[in-house]
Structure 1
Amino acid sequence: MLKLPRTPSFRLDGRAALVVGASSGIGLAAAAALAEAGARVTLAARSADRLDEVVSAFAEAGYEARAMALDVQNVEETEARVAESGPFDILVNSAGIARHAPALQTSLADFDLTTDINLRGAYFLTRAVASMLISAGRPGSLINISSQMAHVGGIDRAVYSATKHAVEGFTKSMAIEWGGHGIRVNTICPTFIRTPLAEQTFANPERLKWVEDKIKLGRIGEVEDIMGAVTFLASDAASLITGSALMIDGGWTAD
């Protein structure tokens, strides 16, 4: 009798997840998605006060979660915190910042801050989590929240786009290096999502029209649009996916 194949599980029971940038927006949604799938989630962000509120909300929903104050700009602190609390089977790095301006008006301070968080911080955070997994002989799924701007350019986004292109580059290289350890490294590339980070763009009528014209599905993204992708990439259902970028852009980059 023919035995039908079965879909690998999307459940994450028994797995430890670290979500950075978890106090709001995409990071918070990613953490909720992982917890809903059964993961034990460590919620990390710079704002300890906000994290306490988030942990309480997770507990009320019946999820297992704890808080970790963490600033990815401080590489030594990041490595120490990961070493103290890991290993983590899953990483979702949603820590990020944007300082939008025309390229001719980019300040050195904005350039340094954006690259420190979006590139330097992301690189060493991903490395720290992978290092613990390799030492423990465990596989894992490491996910960096990138952007559609990692694949195209955008108005006033030269620096932001540069950092996200760089994230795609190190993600692919790390995937090659750590594949033999069973560690998968991927990115999720959202379009404009309704979060506090995007409010500056939405408040500008010209920029809002630009966004709406570029998104082929005709609507701004919501954080819920990211949640299924996070669970998928973290789970066994994505066990052969590494070094890839999952576009959640409403067709922006299809041109």
Structure 2
Amino acid sequence: MEISFKSKRILVTGAGKGIGRGIAIELWRAGANIVALSKTRSHLESLQQEYPSIDIVDVDIADWEKTRRVVESLGTFDALVNNAAIAICEPFLNASVSSYDKTFDINVKAVLNISQVVARNMIDNKVQGAIVNISSQASKAALKDHAIYSASKAALDGLTRAMALELGPHGIRVNAVNPTVIMTEMAKVGWSEPARANEMKAKIPLGRFGEVSEVVNAVVFLLSERSSMITGVELPIDGGFLAT
């Protein structure tokens, strides 16, 4: 199934590495004009070295006002992928207010902020666009030491549904994907220890963790016209974890 984003302009957050980098590259390969946003300039520069036509923007999306100004300055987009996130793994009884604030600032508030700017520009320019939020299986199932992270991703799922409801009349589709463990640098924080990793894999009917490409493929589909009647969904990419 060939999907083209020729002449489409797409913003990808957290695009310096991991899943976000994979999404940016695949959308670029499909013909999109990509703006890659990340906090870490060096990651973006390495991406642009490989793909010189990808535009890069570095900003700390925890800073509401600065992020708003930066995203507004970027103009109109046809699609947005809210991928940037952090994971702070702490036992529930030790979970701190600073970890809570940091996590929700990035995983929820920044998505609201960036999506507001992008969606308003879509509406003003009569663009019937698409937004995909990168959530997690942790929004649907309890995972040890993931209390704050799970809460943030559950909030993101709720935000996704609300966005789909209110932006649908403008022709803007909003969906989320909910991957299982994808062994990026962020995932290694919680899943690098072999015993813990094997315990999780035993709960996944397919018996393995996911690959970055498997998340990328789902995101590309949800951004494309191939999914033109799909909005407000939370799509598990979990090898059957949530089915058990």
Q: Which residue of 2 aligns with 1:173?
A: 162
Matched, 1:95 2:84: yes
Matched, 1:12 2:5: yes
Q: How many angstroms does 1:181 deviate by?
A: 0.7
Distance across 2 between alignment mates of 1:233 and 1:93: 13
Q: How many angstroms does 1:128 deviate by?
A: 1.5
Q: Which residue of 1 aligns with 2:36?
A: 43
Which whole-Å deviations, capped at 9, do the CAs of 1:208-252 have from their partners, x for residues lacking one? 122211211011111111121111111110111111111101111
Matched, 1:24 2:13: no
Q: Which residue of 2 aligns with 1:158?
A: 147
Which whole-Å deviations, capped at 9, do the CAs of 1:157-185 have from their partners, x for residues lacking one? 11100000000101111111111111011
Q: For the Cα contact (< 8 Å) 2:89–2:190, is it kept in 1?
A: no
Q: For structure 2, which runs of at least 5 residues remain unmatched after alignment?
A: none
Q: Which residue of 1 aligns with 2:74?
A: 85
Q: For structure 1, which runs of at least 5 residues remain unmatched after alignment?
A: 1-6
102, 120, 123: which one pairs with 1:113?
Answer: 102
Q: For the Cα contact (< 8 Å) 1:215–1:250, is it kept in 2?
A: yes
Q: Tell me which amino acid in the other structure corresponds to 1:172.
A: R
Matched, 1:75 2:64: yes
Q: Which residue of 1 aligns with 2:179?
A: 190
Q: In angstroms, what is the RMSD of aligned CA positions? A: 1.3
Secondary structure, aligned partner of 1:214 = coil
Q: How many angstroms does 1:205 deviate by?
A: 2.8
Q: For the Cα contact (< 8 Å) 1:37–1:231, is it kept in 2?
A: no
Alignment coverage as a number of residue pairs: 244
Distance across 2 between alignment mates of 1:185 and 1:72: 20
Q: How many angstroms does 1:188 deviate by?
A: 1.0
Q: For the Cα contact (< 8 Å) 1:73–1:116, is it kept in 2?
A: yes
Secondary structure, aligned partner of 2:35 = strand
Q: Which residue of 2 aligns with 1:57?
A: 50
Q: Which residue of 1 aligns with 2:208?
A: 219
Secondary structure, aligned partner of 2:51 = helix
Q: Which residue of 2 aligns with 1:241?
A: 230
Distance across 2 between alignment mates of 1:76 and 1:207: 39
Matched, 1:200 2:189: yes
Q: Tell me which amino acid in the other structure corresponds to 1:96.
A: A
Q: For the Cα contact (< 8 Å) 1:171–1:186, is it kept in 2?
A: yes
Distance across 2 between alignment mates of 1:165 and 1:46: 24
Q: For the Cα contact (< 8 Å) 1:33–1:230, is it kept in 2?
A: no
Q: For the Cα contact (< 8 Å) 2:130–2:174, is it kept in 1?
A: yes
Distance across 2 between alignment mates of 1:48 and 1:67: 8
Matched, 1:209 2:202: no
Which whole-Å deviations, capped at 9, do the CAs of 1:58-114 have from their partners, x for residues lacking one? 13xxxx311011221111122212211121111111110011111001011111111
- TM-score of the pair, normalised by structure 2: 0.96
- TM-score of the pair, normalised by structure 1: 0.92
Q: Which residue of 1 aligns with 2:133?
A: 144
Moved more, 210-219 or 95-104: 210-219
Identical aligned residues as a percent: 38
Matched, 1:253 2:242: yes
